[in-house]
Structure 1
Amino acid sequence: MKLVLNRTRRAAAALAGALTLALLTGCDAGALDVITGKQRAPEETIRITPEDGAKDVRTDGEVEVRLPSGRLERVEVRQIEGGRPVDIPGTVSEDGLRWTPDDGVRLELAAKYSVDVVALDARARRTARHTTFTTYVPEKRFIGYLKPENRSTVGTGMIVSFSFNRAVEDRAAVERAIRVTAVPPVEVVGHWFGGKRLDFRPRAYWKPGTKVTVDMRLRDVEATPGVYGIQQKKISFTVGRSQSSRVDASEHTMEVRRDGKPVATVPITAGAPKTTTYNGKMVVTEMYDVTRMNGATVGFGGEYDIKDVPHAMRLTTSGTFLHGNYWAPADTFGAANVSHGCVGLRDEQGGSPDAPAGWFFDRTLVGDVVEVVNSKDRQVAPDNGLGGWNLGWKEWKEGSALR
């Protein structure tokens, strides 16, 4: 079926709460440039306090974004994975080099925060950084960080996922204290991936229009001897229209289906023979208009570092994306697999709504399923991103502590 492009764009990135430009690398400030091997110039460094991945941050502790030179273009500090995202108000200094929270602003106890920064360096080149940190959880207490966001609209493949700050020993007690219900009704079952992650899903994809409620009654629940929960709240989300996509790595195509009917077949490029793409069902968990992709963060050393990848949609925690590609020749798409494991759609530098990548991005929700077939790789692990749909219903239920 011929792909028909539409110029009308919606703010798809807002569905994931993402910035227009986000940095998805694990490079530390002052690290080596993965292409040249030279030390990065200090003016390229975005310095964020607390450091990325910091835990037990004090609620009155310092939060700061600083540049040695250049100008801060955008700073967003947000409480995430607590049900409802909350923005932290702040101010950029007159010289454009420092951001701090407004007077009187305090962080919440036992909360997770993201920091997203877009800046111009001394040479007017745009750069960005994304970090997260968590605040102090009182001793002998535990908390669960939750996806998706409260009041969000998601795709039919969305899985409710909890990650806990401490390992849970009494999994039955914790799972029993979390109720996931749907209207219209459907059986929803939990599945543990180790002691710190609990996912919930129905037997099959949610029906469009379903209203889902997650009731957390974790307060005073004993997860481990002497360690008790502190959460008591409800969040809800709505399932949007049905859309799923099937990537055939051998045919170099992606078929997009709405409500079970084919909408378009799009030419793609998948993983090259030495860097193949996972097979299996993957769920879109994050969306970025533009992002940076650095091979050093996913085990590819200095093979690539692209600072402006357009229309990027995360499929796995380990780094698989479906994204726009402007650097490969146009005749690559539909004919050859050349990526480092991602799925690429033709695009233009800066991202075009008229290109296949822009067309698909504008019609995608967090929670949509992308299935890859006929790749010469193994099936994606069920705990890599929201890969739980790769388990059969019997196997999924066996992972519940209540069975």
Structure 2
Amino acid sequence: MPNRAENTPRRTADPALFSITEPSCTIQRQGIRMTSQVSTAFTRSGRARRLSRPAYVTVALLVGAFSLTSCSDAPDNDVKDSAAASPTTTAPRAEVDISAENGSTGASINATRVISRNATLTKVTMSRVDTGSAVEGAMSSDRKSWKPSAQLERGTRYEITAEGKGSEGNTVVEHSAFTTVSNGNSFIGTFTPDNGTTVGVGMPVSFTFDKAITDKKAVQSHITVTSSSGQEVSGHWFGEQRLDIRPKDYWEPGSTVTMKLDLDGVEGASGIYGVQSKTVTFTVGRSQVSSVDMNTQTMTVTRDGKVFKELPISGGSPQNPTYNGQMVISEKFEKTHMDSSTVGFGGEYNFTDVPHAMRLSTSGTFVHGNYWGNPSVFGSAGTSHGCIGLRDVQGGGSDTPAKWFYDHSLVGDVITVKNSPDAEKSIKPDNGLNGWNMDWETWTAGSAV
């Protein structure tokens, strides 16, 4: 039987046709890459005929907007696209910025800065407009920033001119004239203790603001107080202008307390802004708590848990008893003026040279040297208008009980008084730095945060 294949007509290529392959193109659009290649046949007469060769599409997860990524006649890498040449680079723009905008009012007294970008500061001058006096400043080591050396004054107009040089040698100059926040639109808080001091274990952190604070939470949340002892602290507001902060119990002796104020720009009341930004650190010294017993007219000084000294005193008279309670030494004076008319006692006394005086209350309670009383009253009778008197001599003696106690006391030491004739007369927590007379639950209830 003849082979079937031998009877099959044999197909031959059409010599009248030739073909070329058109350039392949890859198009990337919306995450899809499409590649197509089309072959076109031409007759010898030049007429084209599309061959039945299917195009193909490849889908890939590519990201990008519509772009033509390649288009070539063939995968011949010898042909280079002139568009692939390296682009021309341009040096970054040199800039000098002054934080206080030209013509602005209400500028911060702490945050004024000059900063350069892609440039080196070559010269910065600042002055007060009203006096023409120069304001000293500090340049960073890399000459990229500058700031005033001290806090600016409130309600004052200043001018700054800053020059910088870019990498290509071009000079940039900026100028700003501005006015700092006014006294009327700002608040400050005076505080105790001061930075770097050593205080007694009873010393609270106390702020007195020069404006009424209506947003207490905003203000208190920008004041932090921490101790190296890890003691928990809480604040308590006495009215709208005073905030005290203390731990539950006395500070641990030898601990370090750090207070951070971040009040610059904080709105304490409508249209009234803080201007302070600083960190204060103080050290707690040894523990000293002195106990005064009005029945015996004696003061027992206890240091670090042990009796250190007993001193005879003369406290308040039955008519003018000394406050009962815990009182903190807030100030010390080697000599001070005491005038009875300033504390509601008319003209009963006026001593211009009271020695070795230490304040215990805002209302005028002191522990101080007494040179005018009969020496026999010390340790036996209360004769004062409410102060705690220690024997002394006029001008202040060198070896008297008053001198000894003055030399061995710190601001922040605690003096407790008991058995005063008027049992109901106890010192109020806000009369001096005497918040220790308030229990912890009541104290923390007065916090705004």
Give 1:347's aligned residue: 392
Deviation digits for residues 26-68 of structure 1 (CA, Å, limit 9, x no counterpart): xxxxxxxxxxxxxxxxxxxxxxxxxxxxxxxxxxxxxxxxxxx
Deviation digits for residues 347-384 of structure 1 (CA, Å, limit 9, x no counterpart): 11111121111111000000000111110231101000
Give 1:379's aligned residue: 426
Q: What one-letter code is carried by the residue in structure 2 that aligns with 1:362?
A: D
Deviation digits for residues 88-111 of structure 1 (CA, Å, limit 9, x no counterpart): xxxxxxxxxxxxxxxx89997469
Distance in 1, matches of 2:247 and 2:209, equals 21
1:220 aligns with 2:272: no
Q: Which of 433, 437, 441 is 1:394 aligned to? A: 441
Contact 1:271 1:340 in 2 (8 A): yes
Distance in 1, matches of 2:397 and 2:183, equals 48
1:233 aligns with 2:278: yes
Give 1:194's aligned residue: 239
1:328 aligns with 2:353: no
Distance in 2, matches of 1:239 and 1:232, equals 23
Deviation digits for residues 272-331 of structure 1 (CA, Å, limit 9, x no counterpart): 111111111111111111111110110111100011111100000110000011111111
Distance in 2, matches of 1:145 and 1:330, equals 40
Give 2:291's aligned residue: 246
Structure 1 segment 223-372 matched on structure 2, within 5 A: 223-372=268-417
If asked which structure has higher relative contact order (CA below 8 Å, sep 6+), I would say 1
CA drift of 1:162 comes to: 0.4
3-state SS, counterpart of residue 313 of structure 2: strand
CA drift of 1:344 comes to: 0.2
Distance verdict in 2 for CA 1:155–1:110, change over 3 Å: farther
3-state SS, counterpart of residue 163 of structure 1: strand
CA drift of 1:140 comes to: 1.7
3-state SS, counterpart of residue 208 of structure 1: coil
Distance verdict in 2 for CA 1:137–1:306, change over 3 Å: farther
Distance verdict in 2 for CA 1:166–1:347, change over 3 Å: same
Q: What one-letter code is carried by the residue in structure 2 that aligns with 1:224?
A: A
Distance verdict in 2 for CA 1:315–1:105, change over 3 Å: farther
Q: What one-letter code is carried by the residue in structure 1 that aligns with 2:320?
A: T
Structure 1 segment 171-190 matched on structure 2, within 5 A: 171-190=216-235
CA drift of 1:137 comes to: 5.3
CA drift of 1:139 comes to: 2.7
Contact 1:163 1:197 in 2 (8 A): yes
3-state SS, counterpart of residue 402 of structure 2: helix
Distance in 1, matches of 2:182 and 2:233, equals 29
Contact 1:109 1:137 in 2 (8 A): no
Distance verdict in 2 for CA 1:346–1:398, change over 3 Å: same
Distance in 2, matches of 1:383 and 1:261, equals 30
Distance verdict in 2 for CA 1:232–1:344, change over 3 Å: same
Distance in 1, matches of 2:322 and 2:378, equals 15
Count of residues paired in the alignment: 275
3-state SS, counterpart of residue 352 of structure 2: strand
Distance verdict in 2 for CA 1:109–1:277, change over 3 Å: farther
Give 1:55's aligned residue: none
Distance in 1, matches of 2:398 and 2:248, equals 35
Distance in 1, matches of 2:348 and 2:402, equals 23
Give 2:198's aligned residue: 153
3-state SS, counterpart of residue 269 of structure 1: coil
Distance verdict in 2 for CA 1:299–1:137, change over 3 Å: farther
Q: What one-letter code is carried by the residue in structure 2 that aligns with 1:330?
A: P
3-state SS, counterpart of residue 360 of structure 1: helix
Distance in 2, matches of 1:387 and 1:376, equals 20
Distance verdict in 2 for CA 1:105–1:376, change over 3 Å: farther
Give 2:254's aligned residue: 209
Distance in 2, matches of 1:338 and 1:286, equals 23
Q: Which of 196, 204, 208 is 1:163 aligned to? A: 208
3-state SS, counterpart of residue 354 of structure 1: coil
Distance verdict in 2 for CA 1:262–1:164, change over 3 Å: same
Q: Percent identity?
A: 53
Give 1:131's aligned residue: none
Distance in 2, matches of 1:309 and 1:232, equals 38
Deviation digits for residues 247-273 of structure 1 (CA, Å, limit 9, x no counterpart): 111210000000011111111000111
Cα RMSD of the aligned pairs, angstroms, is 1.9
Distance in 2, matches of 1:313 and 1:388, equals 18
Contact 1:310 1:349 in 2 (8 A): yes
Give the TM-score normalised by structure 1.
0.66
Give 1 or 2 for the bigger CA radius of gyration: 2
